[in-house]
Each structure stands twice: as C-alpha cells, then as structure tokens.
Structure 1
Amino acid sequence: MSASISSEKMSRTEWRATSGLASIYGLRMFGLFVILPVFAFYAEHLPGGDNYTLVGIALGAYGLTQAILQIPMGWLSDRIGRKPVIYFGLLLFAVGSFVAALADDIYWVIFGRIIQGAGAISAAIMALAADLTREEHRTKAMAVIGMTIGAVFALSLAVAPALNQWIGVPGIFAMTGILALAAILIVKLFVPDPHISRFHSDTEASTDSLGSVLRNAQLLRLNYGIFALHATLMALWLLVPLTLREAGMAVEDHWQIYLPVLFFSMVLVIPAIIYGEKKARLKQVFVAAIALLLCGQIFLAMTVDTIQGTMFALLIFFAAFNLLEASLPSLISKIAPVGAKGTAIGVYSSTQFLGAFAGAAVGGYLMEHHGNLGLYAFCSGLLALWFILAYTMKAPAAVRSKMYHVQEMDKGKSQQLSEQLAALSGVREALVLANERVAYLKVDMAGFDEESVNKLLEDKEGEANGFSQ
C-alpha cells in the first residue's frame, strides 16, 4: 500500500464514526447552549436569583470545570480507553442536568452546572475520531464535528424561547439529561470500536509540548482572543434577553430575533473566510472582525430601547463572532509548531471554557454592583485589548497542515526522514513520529510539490519492504 495520501473517499466506517461522534458532540453542546437566551428569566423566580453575581456564576459554572478537566480527561482516555471516558463524562453531564432540573434555589443550579462541566469529553471525542479515521480524512472528520457545533449553536438559540414556553428551564435541563443518556447509547451501538488506540499529536495535548505552547507569544494572543470572545458572549447573555423584554418583546417571540440574526450572520461571513484564506489576508480579516465585534457590542449598549436597533446590533455582533470562531482554529493550526498542534488546540479550547466562566461570573458581578453600563464597559475593555494584541501580532504564514502515513521505523530513521521531507519544495516544517507512524508537515499554500513528498514516502516504503523480505 502506498504511503502517499489516498484519493479514496471516507469509508463507511469512517463516515459512521464521524457522524456518530458529531451527533454526540452536538447533543452535549445543545444542552449547554439552549439555556443561554432564557436562563436570566428563569433565575428571577429562584431563591437567590435576584443576585446577578450568583446568576452569572450559575450560567458560566460549567465552563470552569470543563476548562480544568478537559485535558486531563483526554489523557485519561489514553490510559483506560476512549469510550469509558466518554461514557463517564456523558453520565456526569446527565447527572448535572437532572440536579439543575430539580434545583429549588440558585445554589443547586450552580452545583448542577459544575457537574455538567465535569463531563469534559471534548478531548476524548477528538482522540476517538482520530483513532477511527485515516490521516488523509482526519481534517474532514474534524470539520464535520466543527460544523455540527456551529449548527447546534444556531438551532439551540432559535428554539430556546419556544422550549422555555412549553417545558420551562427545568424541563430543558431534564431534556438535556435525557439527550446525554441517549448519546451514551449512540456511543455504544453506533460508533465503532477502534482496532488500535494511540496518541495523536494533531488532536491531543502532550505534556512534552505544553511548556513550549504556553510560552509561544503568538499562541498566547490567540488564547486571549478566544477567552475574550466567549467571556463577552456569556456576559451579554445576562443582559440581551432582558433588554429585548424591556423593549416590549414577549419572551416567547425572541426567536424571531435570534433565528434571522444567526442565519444572516453565518451567510455574511462565508465570503470573508474565503477571501482571507485564498488571498492570504487572514490577519487583515481577523483584525477587522474584532473591530466589528467591538462595534456590535457598543451598538448593543446604545440601542437598548428599540427592538430593531438591538436586532441590528446583534447581527453585527454575531457576524463578527462567527467569523472569529471560524478563523481562530485556522490561525492556531498555522502558528502552532507542527508536532504540537493538538496541545495548542487543547490549551485554546480550555481557555475558551475559562472565558465562558469568567465572562458570566464577572459580568454578573458588574451588573449587580455597577449596572448594565459596568457590564458593557467590561466587554468593551476585553475586546479593545484583543484588538491591540491582534493588530500587533505577526501575520501568519500562508500555510496548511498535511498528514501522511509512514511505515514503522526507528527513531534515527524517523529523524532522517523528517530532514528529507523538510528539504522538499514548499515544506516549511516536517516531523515524522515513529510511534504514531505519521509524518506531519506544514506546507505553503502555493508552491508545495506534493508529488515529491509522495515519491519520497513511496521510496522509503519500498526500501522497508525490500529490507523486510
């Protein structure tokens, strides 16, 4: 079998694994997203819910435990298996959902949300997806999972007001728990078991790479960015639903704002993403999106009295938000060292959840003690600092990541092959990891000669086969 990238489509098993894992991720994220537009209304009727600090902590508490446990849960899946960790995480998420559903005060809701976040299975799901897909199709599998998250985010915000009217927030929490239990069945009955489970540098965090990733100034800027993005998002969910109600819109009609805003915001960002990638203008698009996000947030503060004004401000905000949410992982991939991509993504993802907690908790505190103006000032400060950090960052190279399967070899030969690959035209970085049987390359968007890579790997495979005979 050739060591080069295959032109075959994803196999039935790979599609089954990808769709199954995407649905699990989607069911779980639906449960986290769906309460965002309605939780502020529910909290008003809970003992302790008149304290905005506690409301903010309840809204974002899942992010704290998620941020702390996500990488360790991924490491645990390397030791005891992917599926056991996913089962345990989904069970925790279900328990937390039922605790929140039965809560009779804000403190029990906080406790339930903490348990929900402890079911931190994101890293284990990504590792299982890597186990079940070939190198040439792994990016496609991750893209499907990513698109599922985006679609679920839009769907959950659109249906939340109707669900709140039909079953209330306790019913939504209970439904979330049931969906988590259903996800366990999907993992058991639908997602294949991997024949071999091994560490994957492109999807998992490594202790060896952690220090270098945390010291990388460019990655730190991006990590601050995802922190600020989700902190702002969660802080605003404490205020936007109340703003729409005070402007005269019934709670059950809020979907009429969220649905068109989210739909058109996603449509608007597609040309910008294509332009940034194709024209190697990703930094310019990225910085412009942060400026637009800041404008959208300021417009929200200025248009609190009108439904139309709030809708326009939300359109600007979510167009920028969706563009940044899509651009940040691409920038991480371009900037991270070729052998530390999984570690960089793991730190980035943990920082994202930490931002969700901090934004909701600090936003609630500021609303409690300084009113709405304090919350808007906090969000504006976060985004203004992000704009400065992004504006002064180095423009990322116009590169993309490639993966190739290689034959088993010793460490010396893998080092030699890494050097040979790095010397080929259009290859910026190359790392062959013998234990993973994978060659990781970072290559130019233009000028990369893939045929030379294929030929070199085929020659090496032929040499290995000849030697073994």
Structure 2
Amino acid sequence: MTPTERRASFSLASIFGLRLLGLFLVLPVFALEARRYPGGDDPALVGLAMGVYGLTQALLQIPFGIASDRFGRKRVIVIGLLVFAAGSFIAASADSLAGLLIGRALQGAGAVSAAVTALLADLTRDSVRTKAMALVGGSIGLMFALALVAAPALSAHIGLAGLFALTGLLALIGVAATRWWVPAEPRHAPGAARGRWSDLWREPDLLRLNFGVFALHSVQLAMWVAVPALLVQAGLPKERHWWVYLPAVVASFVVMGAVLFPMERAGHLRAALRGAVGLIALTQAGLLALALSGAQAAAWGVAPLAALLLVFFCGFNALEASQPSLVSRLAPASLRGSALGVYNTLQSLGLFAGGALGGLAVKALGSTGLFAITLLLSLAWLAVSWGVKPPPPGGRPH
C-alpha cells in the first residue's frame, strides 16, 4: 500500500470501528437494562426498540449511497455520523422505552456504511482493495469482541444512558477523523458521467454478491440464537463466552492474512470467495452434528465448538473483505456508492431476517432444525457464488 492508501484504510476502518463499538457496547445489556424504563415490561416493545436500528439502517443505506455518488463521500459520512450521534444522545436522555425507541431509530438513520466503503474503494487500487476492506471487516470483529468484554463492566458503572452517551461521543470523534484524518476525495469520485440505476440490476455478479451478504448475515445472526446455549450446555458460563469468541476472532485474522491476501495477489480471489463460503457451510454442518448428538456433545466440552467458531470466523472475515471489494470493482465507478448502498441494505435485511427467523426456527424446530436451515442456506449460497467471474482489470470505469 502507498502511504495514502494506508492512511485511508486505517482512518476509515477506525471510523467504522468507533461507530460499531458504540452499537455493540449497548447490545449485550440492552434487554436487561431496558426493563428499568417505563414500558420496559413489554418484551415486544423492548425487542422493537432493540431492532428498529436495523430497519431504519436498511431503509436508508441506498439513499445515503446515492447521495455519496452525487454530493461527495466525506460530506455524506459527516452528516450520517451527526445523525447517529443525535440518536445516541436522545437515547441517553430518554426517560421511557418510547424515547429509547426514537433514539435507536435515529441511530440507524445515520446509514454511512455504503459511503465509507465507497470512499475506501475510491482511495485504493484494485490490487490492495481486499486488504483495505479486510481492515474495515477486522475492525468490526475486534469491536464486537471488545464490546462483549467491556459492556457488562461499563454498564455497571455508567448504566445504559452512559453507554448511549459514550456512543454519541465516539460518533463525534468519527466526524473529526473524517474531516481531518481521512485523505481528500479524488476529484473523479462523484464523477460527472452518470451511470444508470438499472445497470446495477443487469450485472449478474452484483446480484450474486448481494445474495451472498444477505445469506452471510442471516446465517451469522441465526446461528447466534443457538450457539450461546450450546456453549452453556458444554459447561462454559455465559460471562466467559468471550474466552471462545475473542481468540477465535483474533486467530481468524492471522489465518486470513496468511491465506486470503496471497491468493488475491496470485489472482485467485474468486477461489478464495468460494472457499470462504465453503467454510461457512462446513461450520453449519458441524453445528448440526453437535446438535444431533444432544447430551453426548455436552460430554465433549467446549473444544469442538471453539474449533467450529474459529472456522466460521475465518470464512466470515474473508467474506467481509472480499465481497465488498468485488462489488466496488464490478460496479460502474459513477454508481459505486449506489451499488454498495444496495449491498449494505441486503446486509441489514440479512441481520433482521436471521434474528427473526432464527428465533422462530429454534422455537418450532429446536437447534437441530435451525442448523439444518442455515446449512441449506449456506449450500444454496455456495451454488450461487460458483458463477462469480473475476472482475475486469481496473474495475468498471463508467
């Protein structure tokens, strides 16, 4: 990477990480802390307040992506982070669950993921794009693991309101980083030559990658409906689950650096994509086998689950790096933000579908039925991804 590419990668990964750290810090304690607010005795309202973020995020990813194509990436990122910060401070000052719901909805309205990834694509060459995207993906995994460790302790000292205030502060730090740390946008980024919106729906590989991110995050959230219970069943108390999550996330970064980047340099990014999807499917098959083993699986202890989660995070982190990299190359340059807006919308919808359908599947079919469904979805995704073609050299300029 050139110095400008390194600066762009680390600054934009930091902005992504600061924003998501604030979100992740709230998630482990939200359901418990929300009960203390008026209206917190209604589980449906608590669930709505927790999940409404994903809904507004999904609705606004595409508009923010289009706006970044037309008005500039950094301007849209700053506006989105300010909206996110406003939602955080509203939630921090809320005295009822309705106030929390409004704050969470406004947080989701700051949907800057597409603009951030589009700017990163603008500022990096194709040959290092996946590495740059991996830094963003890595920031997500690390912030998730850090939040699992820090959230209970922080909540005990500053409460849910304090966590939301901290989230708003982190977003404002992100605004400062966008203004003064992120490199200037290339003049051609919001180019004068406009592509057609319909072009995004005529490119089969973009459709395949959009399905891929939907499947990835559906499987991710659905499996986490049952994985914590399996860890408890294996003898690991819930307050120690991070003992498994954190080493798995960190080790997966090492594996990704040793395998994915050399494969990309050798021109085998498509094969790496297929292999990563295969790892997701392999994880679901392993979890299904453990669920079918029932009480016998509990006697094996935590080791099989830890190994499966390592395999999952290896595939997950590789896909979080390679898929948006491929989207940025396959989309016309003048529609890059729009294409990533569609991609991130499908990501948000996948999170929503995985959580909702995962809960229904466990309730109706148990963990065995859940992992059978996630395995079938992963295999369908593997079949769809098989047709992805290598991107043209230098991406699509028009």
TM-score by length of 2: 0.78
CA distance in 1, matches of 2:322, 2:76: 30
- In structure 2, the CA distance between the partners of 1:328 and 1:196, relative to structure 1 (3 Å rule), is closer
Please tell me the residue identity of whatever aligns with 1:401: G
- In structure 2, the CA distance between the partners of 1:125 and 1:270, relative to structure 1 (3 Å rule), is closer
Check if 1:178 corresponds to 2:169: yes
- In structure 2, the CA distance between the partners of 1:360 and 1:97, relative to structure 1 (3 Å rule), is farther
Give unmatched runs, 5+ long, in structure 1. 1-7, 403-428, 434-469
Which of the two has higher C-alpha Rg?
Answer: 1
Please tell me the residue identity of whatever aligns with 1:227: F
Pairing partner for 1:47 from 26, 41, 45: 41
Aligned residue number for residue 314 of structure 2: 319
Matches within 5 A, 1:8-87: 9-10=2-3, 19-35=10-26, 47-49=41-43, 55=47, 60-77=51-68, 85-87=76-78
- Is the 1:40–1:242 Cα contact (8 Å) retained in structure 2? no
CA distance in 2, matches of 1:277, 1:145: 12
> Deviation of residue 187 (structure 1)?
3.8
Check if 1:233 corresponds to 2:220: yes
Aligned residue number for residue 394 of structure 2: 401
SS at the partner of 1:400? coil
CA distance in 2, matches of 1:119, 1:66: 7
SS at the partner of 1:303? helix
- Is the 1:290–1:386 Cα contact (8 Å) retained in structure 2? yes
Check if 1:389 corresponds to 2:389: no
Please tell me the residue identity of whatever aligns with 1:314: L
CA distance in 2, matches of 1:218, 1:39: 38
- Is the 1:48–1:106 Cα contact (8 Å) retained in structure 2? no
> Deviation of residue 85 (structure 1)?
3.6
Pairing partner for 1:358 from 339, 353, 370: 353
Matches within 5 A, 1:48-127: 48-49=42-43, 55=47, 60-77=51-68, 85-100=76-91, 111-125=102-116
Please tell me the residue identity of whatever aligns with 2:246: L
> Deviation of residue 294 (structure 1)?
1.4
Partner deviation per Cα, 1:99-129 (whole Å, 9 max, x = no partner): 5556788776554433221101234445666
Please tell me the residue identity of whatever aligns with 2:113: S
Please tell me the residue identity of whatever aligns with 1:146: M
- Is the 1:60–1:356 Cα contact (8 Å) retained in structure 2? no
Instruction: Name whichever structure is richer in helix by fraction.
Output: 2
Pairing partner for 1:261 from 235, 248, 273: 248
Give unmatched runs, 5+ long, in structure 2. 292-297
Aligned residue number for residue 308 of structure 1: 303
Aligned residue number for residue 161 of structure 1: 148
CA distance in 2, matches of 1:140, 1:109: 44
SS at the partner of 1:401? coil
Aligned residue number for residue 216 of structure 1: 203
- Is the 2:73–2:119 Cα contact (8 Å) retained in structure 1? yes
SS at the partner of 2:394? strand
CA distance in 2, matches of 1:313, 1:195: 42
Check if 1:299 corresponds to 2:299: no
Pairing partner for 2:232 from 231, 240, 245: 245
Aligned residue number for residue 409 of structure 1: none
Partner deviation per Cα, 1:290-332 (whole Å, 9 max, x = no partner): 2221121232344363422221221111112122222223433
CA distance in 2, matches of 1:324, 1:18: 17
- In structure 2, the CA distance between the partners of 1:187 and 1:331, relative to structure 1 (3 Å rule), is closer
Please tell me the residue identity of whatever aligns with 2:393: R
> Deviation of residue 333 (structure 1)?
4.8
> Deviation of residue 340 (structure 1)?
5.1
Partner deviation per Cα, 1:331-356 (whole Å, 9 max, x = no partner): 33554467655543332232222212
- In structure 2, the CA distance between the partners of 1:249 and 1:100, relative to structure 1 (3 Å rule), is farther
Structure with the greater relative contact order (CA < 8 A, sep ≥ 6): 1 or 2? 2
Pairing partner for 2:342 from 336, 342, 347: 347
CA distance in 2, matches of 1:336, 1:86: 20
Please tell me the residue identity of whatever aligns with 1:332: V
Instruction: Name whichever structure is richer in strand by fraction.
Output: 1
- In structure 2, the CA distance between the partners of 1:75 and 1:295, relative to structure 1 (3 Å rule), is closer
> Deviation of residue 177 (structure 1)?
2.1
> Deviation of residue 390 (structure 1)?
2.2
SS at the partner of 2:393? strand
CA distance in 2, matches of 1:195, 1:313: 42
Please tell me the residue identity of whatever aligns with 2:104: R
SS at the partner of 2:235? coil
CA distance in 2, matches of 1:100, 1:319: 35
Please tell me the residue identity of whatever aligns with 1:163: A
The alignment's C-alpha RMSD in Å is 3.9
CA distance in 2, matches of 1:195, 1:268: 33
> Deviation of residue 27 (structure 1)?
0.8
- Is the 2:280–2:311 Cα contact (8 Å) retained in structure 1? yes
> Deviation of residue 95 (structure 1)?
3.4
